[in-house]
Structure 1
């Protein structure tokens, strides 16, 4: 009897021990599986640049453009952007040709490209740094040269490639045989960056009725473009805004937002990459069985120097993915290329890649008239999702976007 009681007692302790351990494991599991929360932050750290494109031009046979000669160059621009150029009136002490500020208007009120003869916008300016007779140094403000019709001395003609949003400007020296016959020096040109509301530089190269600067003075006095080219190079570059970012928490091994090497699935990525609208993608993701939650950071385009963030909930084993539009493009988006555990903390920028959704024909970033920045709609295409290549001088990811989780 005592032996049986001992057996039962021992069995009872064993069951209690098992139950106790089991209960402990269940409690720990419940704690582990309780939702946790983190915050993901997206920062637009791109450097602002005055000009989206710039360059120089010179004669074909010699750098100087003589009467009867012409020169052409290509540039890309969207609605609201304009072209500024400058070249020395060679037969002077300090005069130069340039257009009105902020430059040559390229599109009419209806958004149609302006083509043909645009010579009427050319003006002849006195740099104010040399006496027009003796060449002695002066310190007068830049002013228009009176009684000279610049459009009779220099002819400008624009042509336009609508697919590329690319213009060609031809500058012809037509001063031969006039009272103001002159050679033209090598020159410079630039297209001001546009941020969706205004040009970043509305008075490129010089400011009328103000004192000159060393760069335009070298052009006006010597026909030397070296200083201006250096300044333009330092202030020219692609920049961008970012769309509100979508963040998805999911289970499994497949990123639910996109699959590189495949065609766009129609789940809403096209809308994000072309217009920055995340609503369709948000709705599609919420209906997926492996999606735990969908979150939106920001509610408006993210300008350089700004940040947006959102908190998200997850349980161990979950993963996160995110997407935001490269705003100054036709159909590009930033997304994590590598799989990311939802519990990860720290800087995720190195896991981020710039992709082309393959749904719209590309144009020069920040200068393509079919980009949503200019109220356009991309020309449709259907190619697989891929990394953005080196066709355009796009800043590296880490120079545009910073992604962190805390």
Structure 2
């Protein structure tokens, strides 16, 4: 009898061991998220010109253009003093201030911020309609300098603000219209203005990514600026500025969720924000609130908030340097799925997230195409990287209530790179 029981026990142990040997075992994999955006320092740039032939801005005429800007951003531009050899008008760097310290938009006359500059590439002849272009080149090119009443050759000039009127109109939602009017008619410095260029730099806090995009006082000129200052040709400088204009955005600390189930545990397209913390992630880049809420839900196995060790956020590629990157080892069982979310940092409430039924934990490789960009529907949108109410640009989001939806591309503000050219997700 004892032998029979012993035999049964051994058989049961062997059977149980065989079952365990055939049970799928958890595996360890590493997820890596990178900001692979090849960023640009200018949020917007463009050109302006008159309506005639040639398209100069004659005395009494004006030209207007519109743009978006955040609190600490500035507007800069350049246009030729047409009846000169190489003089140009431009605001003193970093440009025209657009908001007060309290965030109130600046409106009205800002002409006092405009200066007249000598490009330093041509000897200055007496300005006027009879001046011969291009004139004589300087034997040794000079650095750019402000013309303050009298130039290096003894020619007199009125202050720029008496020749050019520049005014700002605030159109709402971070959008401005600037008007440049030629008021030189009847003065001793009557002149047309040439076609010009304009630009606005991204800012990180109070620092400009490109504080002197058009010229640098006290330094040598550039080919693009010389074409404006000598002949009023804005095309070369426009090409330069266009190459420096585009998208710049950090990615907020990355939320990674391992769960068992058939659908994303924190949002679905077409529904309103659930009030569990996704709004805080999408508006402010704070994933901690949502992470805490998810940890209380059934089916959630692990929740991580991955922060870049130095900067917390994942910065984009800047000047050829690699962007930010974070990694996390995951313990995964068959049937597990992985959801990822992070804020489009320079937006009002856009966030990247895995779409569909997220990422199959059994798979490995590059899952960047599993990411999509969504509008959380809780804050009014503005130009990405140029919004006065964007939290990461010193603003307070303005509330709205819409369902979560994909961000179209192109969108009403700009055209974004492909998602896989902004965020890269790999599992190995």
TM-score under structure 2 normalisation?
0.88
Write out aligned runs for 1:161-172 (5 A).
161-163=171-173, 165-172=174-181
Kept in 1, the 8 Å contact 2:346–2:393? The answer is no
1:26 deviation in Å?
A: 2.6
Per-residue CA distance 1:238-281 (angstroms, 9 max, x = gap): 21001001111111101102101111111111110000001110
Write out aligned runs for 1:233-272 (5 A).
233-272=242-281
The alignment partner of 1:265 has SS state of coil
Taking the aligned partners of 1:302 and 1:23, their CA distance within structure 2 comes to 47
1:195 deviation in Å?
A: 2.7
Taking the aligned partners of 1:170 and 1:362, their CA distance within structure 2 comes to 25
What is residue 333 of structure 2 aligned with on the other side? 315
Per-residue CA distance 1:96-146 (angstroms, 9 max, x = gap): 000000111111122211111000000011111111128211111111113
What is residue 363 of structure 1 aligned with on the other side? 382
What is residue 352 of structure 2 aligned with on the other side? 334
Unpaired runs of at least 5, structure 2: 126-131, 150-157, 317-322
Taking the aligned partners of 2:41 and 2:351, their CA distance within structure 1 comes to 24
1:176 deviation in Å?
A: 0.3
The alignment partner of 2:207 has SS state of coil
1:377 deviation in Å?
A: 1.9
What is residue 222 of structure 2 aligned with on the other side? 213
What is residue 126 of structure 1 aligned with on the other side? 118
1:88 deviation in Å?
A: 0.5
- Which of 44, 47, 51 is 2:42 aligned to? 51
Taking the aligned partners of 1:111 and 1:307, their CA distance within structure 2 comes to 33
Larger radius of gyration: 1
Taking the aligned partners of 2:301 and 2:263, their CA distance within structure 1 comes to 14
1:48 deviation in Å?
A: 2.5
What is residue 136 of structure 1 aligned with on the other side? 136
Kept in 1, the 8 Å contact 2:202–2:385? The answer is yes
Taking the aligned partners of 1:284 and 1:385, their CA distance within structure 2 comes to 19
Q: RMSD of the TM alignment (CA)?
A: 2.0
1:386 pairs with 2:405: yes
- Which of 18, 38, 49 is 1:24 aligned to? 18
Moved more, 286-295 or 190-199: 190-199
Taking the aligned partners of 2:205 and 2:330, their CA distance within structure 1 comes to 31
Moved more, 337-346 or 20-29: 20-29
The alignment partner of 2:203 has SS state of coil
Taking the aligned partners of 2:64 and 2:392, their CA distance within structure 1 comes to 28
Per-residue CA distance 1:155-197 (angstroms, 9 max, x = gap): 000011232x001100000000000000011111000111335
Kept in 2, the 8 Å contact 1:248–1:294? The answer is yes
1:397 pairs with 2:419: yes
Kept in 2, the 8 Å contact 1:295–1:312? The answer is no
Kept in 1, the 8 Å contact 2:294–2:303? The answer is yes
- Which of 132, 150, 161 is 2:160 aligned to? 150
1:352 deviation in Å?
A: 0.7
TM-score under structure 1 normalisation?
0.93
The alignment partner of 1:221 has SS state of helix
The alignment covers a number of residue pairs equal to: 395
What is residue 367 of structure 2 aligned with on the other side? 348
Taking the aligned partners of 2:40 and 2:10, their CA distance within structure 1 comes to 72
Taking the aligned partners of 1:68 and 1:128, their CA distance within structure 2 comes to 28
Taking the aligned partners of 1:191 and 1:309, their CA distance within structure 2 comes to 35
